[in-house]
Amino acid sequence: MTDNLVLHTDLYQLNMMQVYFEKGISERNAVFEVYFRDMPFKNGYAVFAGLERVIDYLSSLHFEADDIVYLRELGYPESFLSYLSDLRFTCSVRSAREGDLVFANEPILQVEGPLAQCQLVETAILNIVNFQTLIATKAARIKSVIGSAPLMEFGTRRAQEMDAAIWGTRAAVIGGADATSNVRAGKRFGIPVAGTHAHALVQAYGNDYDAFKAYATTHKDCVFLVDTYDTLKIGVPAAIKVAKELGDAIHFQGVRIDSGDMAYISKKVREQLDDAGFTDAKIYASNDLDENTILNLKMQKAKIDVWGVGTKLITAYDQPALGAVYKIVAIETENGDMRDTIKLSSNAEKVSTPGKKQVWRIRSIDKNKSEGDYITFSDVDVTRQDEIFMFHPTYTYINKKLTNFMARPLLTPIFAKGQLVYDKPTLPEIKAYFKAMLDDLWDEYKRDLNPQDYPVDLAQDVWDRKMQLIDQVRKDVYK
């Protein structure tokens, strides 16, 4: 039996596809857009991730014979099953690039093509983008307090199963992790792998000295975990003894602490290492760390050089879901024209913005910083405009005219009618790209706590169309 990702969808997508197929509208052109409504972790920006897996998924989208057998068991009719057997992905996709900064209430990925296909892929696209964007953003928050010191990703054992560990690790690297303990992620994505050892090694030998000595006589690079019994009285002295005994035979990189008051202990450990002449030895720390504990430890002047972060990064502990949605924004009518669609809600924030759109990152030429994002219809080219008027979509009196600016389209072509047209960047390129994007952002949007809201504004005609459709739908629906 194959485990084909095409069935990684919700049953209701197949049921809607069947409706479209039987009523003869499955091939009508439609446009769907992905966006999220609230900034994750109340951060000032989110880091887009997941595109690589979305590309893998869409590139191989097809139904295998045993998928069809299963769907037959579920009761779908033969004509629909035969349509599914022949289905090949023919949509166009435009998307933010991995490492792009993205913000609430703007399209970050767009699928255009036959209605039924657009419907089929909703679940997997959201599944991928929601998780990976969340983890990349969490990693960016953690890295922002760590600064240039190394961040090691240690989370696999606590991740929500294997897929989350592997792709979460990759997302964490996009957002700022420098290395991972997950060997499979290292092989698959070329991420640097690194690690120390666990308490089990010390417990197996029954004492720190014998364990460290055993490790040192089998490995060149050594970081000893010193807190199994007593960090300051036993662990660190044993590490120093072994390092002295083995001398140049090993590269004594340092020690790891994993419990207790890490501010106090790290300072004492630093003194012990320095007094023994190991001023280059690094102090690694781990134990339920996140951006808050790390910031706090730094404020206490903890002497920590390398940060190992597991659970709270890989599980996005304080906010387990991004909440991105996938909404239809336009559909072809009987006579071949495109009709913009809207979804109303008693909750103003949940009213969708109609029409196929583009997001323009507006950068001031004078200040060399991003001024905000400006959402237009997709056929508008803002690079040809000399002046734009940006206003807050709810508080419209907050507005500004911009003249001396550069505009960059956020959504870039990935698939054109089913053909991949995008050169996938390497992971180091994505990481570097994210750093460059972050440099363009004012510090006010970058702080971890209570950042300013980055402007995401609608062009006047997009805003007008939204208002007009709200009125029109109200009239049509409640008539």
Ligand X SMILES: O=C(O)c1cccnc1
Ligand Y SMILES: Nc1ncnc2c1ncn2[C@@H]1O[C@H](COP(=O)(O)OP(=O)(O)OP(=O)(O)O)[C@@H](O)[C@H]1O
List residues binding ligand Y (CB under 6 A): 259-263, 287-289, 293, 296-297, 300
H or E segment to which residue 127 belongs? helix 122-146
CB of 264 to ligand X, least distance (A): 21
Least distance to ligand Y, CB of residue 236, Å = 16
> Do residues 166 and 182 make contact, with C-beta atoms less than 8 angstroms apart?
yes
Q: Which of residues 241-270 bind ligand PRP (CB under 6 A)?
A: 258
Residue type, 123: T
Q: Please report how close the Cβ of residue 385 comes to ligand PRP at its closest, in angstroms.
A: 48
Q: Are 325 and 376 in contact (CB under 8 A)?
A: no
Task: Report the distance separating Cα 121 and Cα 111, nearest Å.
Answer: 9
Which CB sits closer to ligand X, 257 or 459? 257
260 binds, among ligand Y, ligand X, ligand PRP, none (CB under 5 to 8 A by kind): ligand Y
Q: Which does 262 bind (CB under 5 to 8 A by kind): ligand PRP, ligand X, ligand Y, none?
A: ligand Y
Instruction: Compute the distance between CA of residue 469 and CA of residue 378 in angstroms, rounded to an integer.
Output: 18
- The Cα 50–Cα 101 span in angstroms is 13
Q: From the list 38, 230, 280, 288, which residue makes contact with ligand PRP (rule: CB under 6 A)?
A: 288
Choose which of 150, 186, 195, 260 interacts with ligand X (CB under 6 A).
Answer: 195
Answer with the entry of ligand Y, ligand PRP, ligand X, none that 297 interacts with (C-beta below 5 to 8 A by kind): ligand Y
Nearer to ligand X, 165 or 328 (CB): 165
Q: Is 158 in the site for ligand PRP (CB under 6 A)?
A: yes
What stretch of H or E contains 168? helix 161-175
The single residue among 114, 168, 235, 308 that binds ligand X, judged by CB under 6 A, is 308
Of the pair 262, 390, the CB lying nearest ligand Y is at 262
42: left (phi over 0), alpha (psi -120 to 50) or beta: left
Closer residue to ligand X (CB): 194 or 462? 194
3-state helix, strand, coil in the chain (%, to 5): 40, 20, 35
**Residue in the structure block whose two tokens are 């897929």:** 163
DSSP 218: T
Q: Which residue is nearest to ligand PRP (CB)?
A: 310
- What is the C-alpha to C-alpha distance for residues 192 and 459, in angstroms, rounded to an integer? 44
Binding of ligand X by 196 (CB under 6 A): yes
- Please, which residue, 154 or 360, has the CB nearer to ligand X? 154
Interacting partner of 263 out of ligand Y, ligand PRP, ligand X, none (Cβ under 5 to 8 A depending on kind)? ligand Y
Smallest Cα–Cα separation from 256: which of 242, 237, 269?
269
Query: Applying CB under 6 A, what is the total number of residues that bind ligand X?
Result: 8
Q: Judging by DSSP bridges, how do beta strands 357-364 and 369-377 pair with one another?
A: antiparallel
Binding track over 149-188 against ligand X, x by CB under 6 A: -----x--------------------------x-------
Q: Dump strand ranges (E) for 147-250.
A: 151-153, 179-180, 221-225
Q: Rank residues 197 and 392 by Cβ distance to ligand Y and give the closer one.
A: 197
User: Among candidates 369, 385, 349, which has minimal Cα distance to 459?
Assistant: 385
**Footprint of ligand X (CB under 6 A):** 154, 181, 195-196, 256, 286, 308, 310
